Amino acid sequence: GHIHLRQADHDHSCDYYEQSLTVARELNDLRLISQNLEGLGDVAAFQSDFVKANVYYQESLEINRRIDHKRGIAGNLNGIGWVASSQSDYETCRRCFEQSLEIAQEIGDRRGVARSMGNLGAIASAQGNFATALAYYQQQLQIHRETGLKAGIAWSLWALSRLMFFQGDYAAASEQNLQSLAINRELGDKTYLSANLRVLGQIAYAQGDYPAARRYQDESLALAQEIGQQLGITAGYIFLGQISAAMGEWADTQFYFDQGLALTRDLNFMDGIADSLNGLGWTALCRGAYALARTHFEEALAVARQITYVDGIATILIRLGLLAAATHDYAAAADYYHESLDLARRLGLQHQIASALVRLGLLELDQQVWPTAYAHLIEGLRLANTIGAQPVMLEALIGLAEYFLAQGEIDRSLELAAVAHSHPALAAGIVRSRLDAVTPREGAAEASPAASLNSVVCALLDPSAHSAR
């Protein structure tokens, strides 16, 4: 049962656990009964059947408490905590993980300690407590390396890569994720291979390489579908919706977010519900359906606030700001952008900081507040350039092209607009539509997009040029 579970062969794993459970009941071996119940709970959890998983874990916990099997109790608490985590019930899952950690430390179970630390790190990361998450993950990785547990090393590296991604360190995120990927390929762990590929896709997406993002996500989704991992399938649909939106494929965007919302509601996966509604709101906004966009965004924000989904909150606030700006409610737009910026700065979400700064600059252009607009656009461009977020860099260039046009520097404006027009990382949507007000696509430069982007950004960020302006 354990072997087939590790290989994501859930049907055979379940069959072996059930056979073993039958024999254990005949022998009245309570410890074996509890172990098989926990195994069946793990199978159900991997298949995203959290109601069934919780029933198995609770039954196993009751037996382990009766026979005072502390290692078993700790394992059950981790399982119950993950069920609560899937429903974004962070208080329950933190309580379970802390109790599990205390028991594992008491009995000297180092692998149990590592498992609980990783789980606590995941909860801290989900709520934006990145320093706490980093400490847990690093301690977990050290224990896994000392005990030689390859699967644990791979999980820790994957978790660290996601943490680095959230903080905008894409190079470190990619390096750690590739190390994790290599181990999981060696072990044949399809569940975490799918997760590795999805993170690589997210890194490519953040850097504006949408074809690579789609390739990674298609492979990730295929693995999740092969093993019947519903959370992976759901996350795959939502991410494909984001990629399709960036590429302007609105029919596909609508399909993927609709699928994501239906699945996340079936699973009561709150993060996914917020992301799906956010995606549907963005689709409606880009199509000019402002009332529908507002409905989706406000529902998404309510869900994200309910579960303290900080990354989601920051993103939704920016999009509510874009909606307000599109309807010329500039005061509301500024409030949304500043709230997103304050949250992102407090948590160290570098991508969201850069994005919020650029949005503020674009808003100030609309209001003809030229010095402040220029300052925000340059600040956002500088940070986006530091982390390699090319889509945000290009949006900043669009704003700066508008700025230079308004200042009468037409050649400078056309140069920036041409670079933005010709670069494949420029995402579709309402910011891109501003570009045609500066210069039509037909006027785009023929130069290498990457080289042009690097050269104009270096010139814009040159301290002497910035000081002179």
181 is a domain residue: no
Residue 440: band (very low, low, confident or very high) from pLDDT cuts 50, 70, 90: low
Work out the average pLDDT over 325-343: 97
Tokens of 187: 């072990």
Residue 206, pLDDT > 50, answer yes
372 is a domain residue: yes
> What pLDDT digit, counting tens, does each position of 133-190 carry?
999 999 999 999 999 999 999 999 999 999 999 999 999 999 999 999 999 999 999 9
Nearest 5°: the CA angle 103, 108, 114 is 75
Greater confidence (441 vs 299) lies with 299
CA 356 to centroid of chain Cα atoms: 18
CB neighbours of residue 70 within 10 Å: 16
State residue 441's pLDDT score: 53
> What pLDDT digit, counting tens, does each position of 417-432 carry?
989 988 999 888 877 8
* CA-atom Rg of the chain in angstroms: 24
What is the extent of the structural domain holding 400? 349-469
Tokens of 227: 């093993």
35 is a domain residue: no
Work out the average pLDDT over 211-224: 97
State residue 465's pLDDT score: 62
Residue 448: band (very low, low, confident or very high) from pLDDT cuts 50, 70, 90: very low
317 is a domain residue: no
Decide if 8 contacts 46 (C-beta within 8 A). yes
Residue 126: exposure state from Cβ atoms within 10 A (0-12, 13-18, ≥19): buried
State residue 422's pLDDT score: 87
403 is a domain residue: yes
> What pLDDT digit, counting tens, does each position of 121-136 carry?
999 998 889 999 999 9
446 is a domain residue: yes
State residue 87's pLDDT score: 83
Decide if 179 contacts 360 (C-beta within 8 A). no
Residue 445: band (very low, low, confident or very high) from pLDDT cuts 50, 70, 90: very low
314 is a domain residue: no
How far apart (Å, rounded) are the C-alpha atoms in residues 24 and 15? 14
167 is a domain residue: no
Residue 8: band (very low, low, confident or very high) from pLDDT cuts 50, 70, 90: confident
How far apart (Å, rounded) are the C-alpha atoms in residues 241 and 253? 4
CA 17 to centroid of chain Cα atoms: 34
Residue 245: band (very low, low, confident or very high) from pLDDT cuts 50, 70, 90: very high
State residue 446's pLDDT score: 46
Residue 450, pLDDT > 90, answer no
> What pLDDT digit, counting tens, does each position of 348-376 carry?
999 999 999 999 999 999 999 999 999 99
CB neighbours of residue 368 within 10 Å: 8
Residue 109, pLDDT > 70, answer yes
Decide if 181 contacts 191 (C-beta within 8 A). no
How far apart (Å, rounded) are the C-alpha atoms in residues 332 and 349? 22
Q: What is the pTM of this model?
A: 0.90
> How many structural domains is the chain composed of?
1
Which H or E element spans position 451? helix 449-461
